[in-house]
Amino acid sequence: MLEYLASNYEGEFHSGLLEVGVSDGVYVDRTGKRVIGGAFYRGWDFSEGLAAAMPKNLEKWGYINTKGEFAISPRFDTSPSGYVWPFEGGLAKIEVLKRIGYIDHSGDFVIPPRFLDGDSFHDGMARVIVDGPCTYFRISEESLCPDFGVVGVVTKDAISSKWPSCKYTFTNEDGTLISDERYDYARPFSEGMAPVQIDEKWGYIDKKGSLVIAPTFKSAAPFSDGLALVSENGVYGYIDHTGKYVVTPHFKYAEDFAEGRAVVSDQESGFWYIDHNGRQVIEGKFSLASPFFKGLAHVKLRSQRDKDESIYEGTFAYIDRNGRRVFCYRRNPVQ
């Protein structure tokens, strides 16, 4: 088990299995027992009971089930002719000759490859680019590393040309665009609404493409736990589905709500957790804090040595929703 985990980057189980990142696509169960492996050149994490995998003797992608059997036979090209992605929202996006389409669990295209670019489905909708050629740039909330490029061009010579910025819209699960509107940027649907950027302001649309919250915000995130994180004048707050502030903007840093808690900070005294009313609900502050997931959150405890320690060293803990420490551990500096 240890030799497998040493090469694993994610460390998370999906559909009860962990992909351990060795060359032949080995998967282990929660006891550490190897249950799949040896027959694949590459394998991805499981999602919705399937994982993209490539057999050793064929440079084609297919999808295996949790028994290691190809539920969708290897039939999809790899780069540069095409590519595959995990299943999300019942569909998986597939690239074919620089166009994006979507397959269902049978492996059949339910939306033929026709979009210049597209994202995975969320809440029954997928963000797509229809018109081009154009240039795209992912905002920092979606990609911490620079992520930009050109879509809709065929030759290398064409890439050097100057194209306009991409405009975004959404498709539903049968490939129908929700409206004729195109947005300067858009983020995924959640709880029936999606943030969209019009000029330099953000608002929200519904699944019919109707603007239901006017574009007045400097930034806006998808709804989570009934509230959405937005910003104005350099500070963050939270709105409800009507666009009304539930927590007025006054945090210099904030994250989405998860399981009734959200991480916020003044970027000076540390991080803490608030409830839907904006009240601090866990005593004390932390040097680092993560959102709650399945009842637990990962935090770094504050100490007098904070200024001398990197973010990777110190005393860490997993806490429950009441702030009780489930267990702690010490991470020492790498020698």
Residue 158 pLDDT more than 70? Answer: no
Among 41, 45, 40, 42, residue whose Cα is nearest residue 28: 45
**Could you please report the per-residue DSSP string of 141-190?**
TT-SS--EEEES--SHHHHTS--PBP-BEEE-TTS-BS-S--BSEE---B
Residue 103 pLDDT more than 90? Answer: yes
Looking at residue 142, what is its pLDDT?
Answer: 83
Q: 106-110, 188-192, 238-242, 313-317: which has the minimum mean pLDDT? A: 313-317
Amino acid, single-letter form, for residue 208: K
Looking at residue 99, what is its pLDDT?
Answer: 96
SS3 track for 96-120: ECCEEEEECCCCCEEEEEEECEECC
Q: 108-122, 161-175, 232-246, 302-316: which has the minimum mean pLDDT? A: 302-316
Looking at residue 238, what is its pLDDT?
Answer: 98
Q: Where are the alpha helices (DSSP H) in 38-136?
A: none
For the stretch 47-56, pLDDT in tens is 999 999 999 8
**Could you please report the per-residue DSSP string of 194-218?**
EEEEETTEEEEE-TTS-EEEEEEES
CB 34 within 8 A of CB 46: no
Looking at residue 325, what is its pLDDT?
Answer: 95
Q: Tell me which residue has tokens 């300067």.
A: 184
CB 113 within 8 A of CB 91: no
Mean pLDDT of 112-141: 94
Give the pLDDT band of residue 159 (cuts 50, 70, 90).
low
What's the CA gap between 92 and 72, in Å, rounded? 12
Looking at residue 133, what is its pLDDT?
Answer: 92
CB 316 within 8 A of CB 287: no
Mean pLDDT of 18-38: 76
Mean pLDDT of 264-274: 95
Mean pLDDT of 93-102: 96
Mean pLDDT of 3-22: 59
Q: 37-46, 147-156, 318-327: which has the minimum mean pLDDT? A: 147-156
Give the pLDDT band of residue 306 (cuts 50, 70, 90).
low
Going from the N-terminus, what domains does the chain have, and what CATH number goes with each? 250-335 (2.40.128.630)
User: What pTM was computed for the model?
Assistant: 0.87
Question: End-to-end alpha-carbon separation of the chain, Å?
Answer: 25
Looking at residue 311, what is its pLDDT?
Answer: 77
Looking at residue 10, what is its pLDDT?
Answer: 43
